[in-house]
Structure 1
Amino acid sequence: MAQEPEDPLKAIINYGSYLCNMTVSQTHPDDGKVYCPSKFDGFGCWNYTVAGKQAIIPCPEHLPGFNPNQFAYWNCTENGSWQNTSLNLADYSKCLHEDVTDDTHKYGLYGMFAGFSLSIILLTIAQLIFFSFKQLRCDRITLHKNLFASYILTGLTKIIYLASVTTEPTILFENPIWCRVLQIFQEYAVACNFAWMLCEGFYLHTVLVWPFHTGKKLIYLCCGIGWGIPFLLALFYTIFRFQSENNIMCWMEQSDLHWIIDGPICLSLLLNIYFLFAIVFVLLTKLRGMSDNSQTRKVFRATMILVPLLGLQYILAGFSPKDPTFQDVYHITTVIVSSLQGTFVAIMYCFFDREAISVIKRWYNQQKESLSGNNSKRVSTYITMYTDPLTASNSTKTVDADMPAGHACKMNSDPASPEETVEMLTPE
């Protein structure tokens, strides 16, 4: 029977133990002094050390994520025993601390704090707008609400993790249970974010290709995909990770088990690439016979705006440069893109959204007239240009300002023509 491959983490520890046995003194010094014993603590190799002294060794180079140019420390007490810590380990904080003290990484950390904070603020305002106006209650906006909620959840978990773990490297070695739970919440939030980006692409594709299959059932399906599937992925990942030997350092180090979450995320990006090309193909095909070149330009513009909505910019994250000169640029760009994506989506799909702007303007005018003392019966209207899907002729429709819920985006729950879809995707 074939022998099972050795766990990578166990192999690294065994190799470290081997190196330790090769380098430490084999016998206790016989000079009458008190010494702390030689020891391998799972990370580094500590030789016999005189009592009352501090032992210093280079950070282990055989461990991923450690900087061998830094040093680890362990105090030998007066009674000849190593100083007790929560996990009976030396102080390896400096081994990981370079990522925080190095200017590039430090500014990257500050950038992530600022970017995610700004995104959370703008996304929260956008959510208040969506929930405050009943005219904005429709399937498309419902998807945006859930997508924005996943961005907020991701931003909050990222900020909490950065503030409580990344800036305190010693926590990684203590490996408390709350740290691992926080890591799981972060993985779940990221998975939800990608799942809802997939739902956005799936919905737009369905509106164009199978317009009569839209409705509440489609929204329920998206809710299952957006919140349910990531929960199952995070649950399976947690169970297997707890049972594995790679159960250290707050699960910050990558494991083969991480493909339980990364695999579906990669699949969602591939599906969104397909949805994007399918949407563009259908729009260009149906608009090909029209002489209005502005529609083609709008299709191109809508395509560019769909890229962040569908999360396709994350594909570039897999192409990290090897040249150290460009690694800092890559790191800073990644920080900006990941932390400010929620900001961009909130601006494009709420603050610049035609329907949201129209509803807010009508509400503002109503409040203005109310404050001016004009209590007379008023009927405000707005005119929406649309194209009849059957006749392809331009028409207008006039709607009361106090229209029922969902009327402002009514066209998005009906079978949409290519022109309506382009207008829906193109912000103000």
Structure 2
Amino acid sequence: MASGKVLEETYQKWVQYKEDCIEMIENEPLLQGLFCNRTFDRYACWPDTPAGFMINISCPFYLPWYEKVSQGVVRQRCGSDGLWEREDSGQVWRDMTQCEEEKEVTSQEVGMFYTVGYSLSLFTLVTALIVLLSFRKLHCTRNYIHANLFLSLILRAVSVIVKDTMLERHWGREIMKQTDVREMLSHQVSLTTSQVMMQYCVLANHYWFFGEAIYLYSVLIASVFIDSNKYLPYICLGWGTPLLFVLPWVVMKLMNENKECWAVNENMNYWWIIRFPILFINFLIFMKILKVILSKLRANNQSGYPDYKLRLAKATLTLMPLFGIHEIIFIFATDEQTTGVLRFIKVFFTLFLNSFQGFLVAVLYCYANKEVCSFISDFTSFS
């Protein structure tokens, strides 16, 4: 997926390339005889070219992959009539094969993996949500919390896919094959909006994990929200609290960093506004719950040390993807600070867990839930 920083830099370099070209057009002396006029076709800068000649110029330096194609050239042919040759479609003929980016198999494989993960998660989450909401006997605070968590994961997946699709569609590699690179800016408002919505959905997802953690902790220890039959406080926590962090982030971005469609963080303090509080809180309550589980396993242990150690390990591995603890691993390794192999590992690791997280949650909270399975079994038998 294209990054906001690369896209913004590409446009700025294109502007510089265009200005240099205009300066050349205005100041270079004219050729003698019959020739094709100098021009800027919004892809490359073409000097005056004698009729009947093929002109080769270096690949434009604004291309994001310029370092890979710096030795390449783009070609146009000036016809014998002093006009640039055209294709059957009417477009000016241009050979830019040497300036195109080579396809990266690894990137395609990661993208396919990512798409499969989110598609599987969306299917299982939507089905699980329908199951929990369709049967009245499954309606209770616990399952309402599960349902909202499913919904937050669905919205997160959709918002991520929409944002990335918009970036790929409007600012991806194909934009360089179009006639006007300025089209890259025509969708900045919608892209910025999609970025804000994605951040809200991601944050709401984290706070619903927090709600799940609070409920689990209340079951293990005591009631945090006194009336267990009311889940309004959870609604406020899951859908309302994210606004307290997203809105200040939006204000700071508008005032101090209103560029690059907000897809990159130059000032990491703004990023910490929306991410650090909930990741830190989730990590603390995760450790607290593990401590409680450990104490209960020790108290109820009848088979010796290895048994409860194994059960604790299983509980830990189960809770980690549910509370998003895997994000703690790369919390300080942002896209702006990682390169090379570390960046690839981070992208692969986070995309795998984030894209399949919804599937894991749906399985653990619905498909593998004994209460749900028992009810569905009774329902199908009765039918």
Map 1:153-192 to 2 at 5 A.
Answer: 153-168=155-170, 169=172, 170=175, 173-176=184-187, 177-192=189-204
1:203/1:124 CA distance change after superposition, 3 Å: same
What is the identity, as a one-letter code, of the residue corresponding to 2:279?
Answer: L
Displacement of 1:275 in angstroms is 0.8
CA contact (8 A) 2:117 2:352 kept: yes
Matches of 1:131 and 1:259, distance apart in 2:
40
Matches of 1:215 and 1:49, distance apart in 2:
77
Q: Deviations over 1:71-111 (max 9, x none)?
A: 7989999999xxxxxxxxxxx9x99966xx31111122222
Map 1:214-225 to 2 at 5 A.
Answer: 214-215=226-227, 219-225=231-237
Residue from 278, 294, 305 that aligns with 1:284: 294
1:258/1:141 CA distance change after superposition, 3 Å: farther
Matches of 1:186 and 1:277, distance apart in 2:
28
1:191/1:290 CA distance change after superposition, 3 Å: closer
Q: Deviations over 1:95-144 (max 9, x none)?
A: 9966xx31111122222222111100000111111112222222222211
Displacement of 1:272 in angstroms is 1.5
Name 2:316's counterpart in structure 1. Answer: 303
Displacement of 1:287 in angstroms is 4.4
Name 1:338's counterpart in structure 2. Answer: 354
Name 1:121's counterpart in structure 2. Answer: 123
Displacement of 1:38 in angstroms is 8.8
Q: Deviations over 1:235-269 (max 9, x none)?
A: 44445444556434xx1640346754543322212
1:231/1:289 CA distance change after superposition, 3 Å: closer
What is the identity, as a one-letter code, of the residue corresponding to 1:50?
Answer: D
Matches of 1:138 and 1:256, distance apart in 2:
45
1:234/1:29 CA distance change after superposition, 3 Å: farther
| TM-score (normalizing by structure 2) | 0.70
1:224/1:60 CA distance change after superposition, 3 Å: same
Matches of 1:66 and 1:76, distance apart in 2:
25
1:242/1:264 CA distance change after superposition, 3 Å: closer
- The structure richer in helix per residue is 2
Matches of 2:363 and 2:326, distance apart in 1:
17
Residue from 132, 135, 139 that aligns with 1:133: 135
CA contact (8 A) 1:59 1:70 kept: no
Displacement of 1:316 in angstroms is 2.5
Name 2:68's counterpart in structure 1. Answer: 69
Displacement of 1:56 in angstroms is 4.7
Q: Which runs of 5+ in 2 are unaligned?
A: 1-7, 85-95, 176-180
Map 1:23-422 to 2 at 5 A.
Answer: 27-32=27-32, 36=38, 49-50=47-48, 56-60=58-62, 68-70=67-69, 101-168=103-170, 169=172, 170=175, 173-176=184-187, 177-211=189-223, 213-215=225-227, 219-243=231-255, 246-248=258-260, 251=261, 253-256=263-266, 259-260=269-270, 262-293=272-303, 297-318=310-331, 319=333, 324=340, 328-367=344-383
1:235/1:104 CA distance change after superposition, 3 Å: same
- Residue range with higher mean Cα deviation, 101-110 or 318-327: 318-327
Matches of 2:101 and 2:153, distance apart in 1:
29
Is the partner of 2:67 in helix, strand or coil? coil
Matches of 1:135 and 1:214, distance apart in 2:
22
Matches of 1:104 and 1:300, distance apart in 2:
33
Matches of 1:29 and 1:136, distance apart in 2:
82
Matches of 1:103 and 1:263, distance apart in 2:
36
CA contact (8 A) 2:31 2:48 kept: no
1:59/1:242 CA distance change after superposition, 3 Å: farther
Matches of 1:264 and 1:307, distance apart in 2:
21
Matches of 1:75 and 1:161, distance apart in 2:
36
| TM-score (normalizing by structure 1) | 0.63
Matches of 1:36 and 1:258, distance apart in 2:
45
Q: Deviations over 1:48-83 (max 9, x none)?
A: 73379786544348xxx6653247989999999xxx
RMSD between aligned residues: 4.4
1:75/1:215 CA distance change after superposition, 3 Å: farther
CA contact (8 A) 1:198 1:269 kept: no
Give the total of aligned pairs.
334
Displacement of 1:315 in angstroms is 2.0
1:36/1:207 CA distance change after superposition, 3 Å: farther
- Residue range with higher mean Cα deviation, 271-280 or 158-167: 158-167
Q: Deviations over 1:295-340 (max 9, x none)?
A: 6643432222111110001223345897845654553333221211
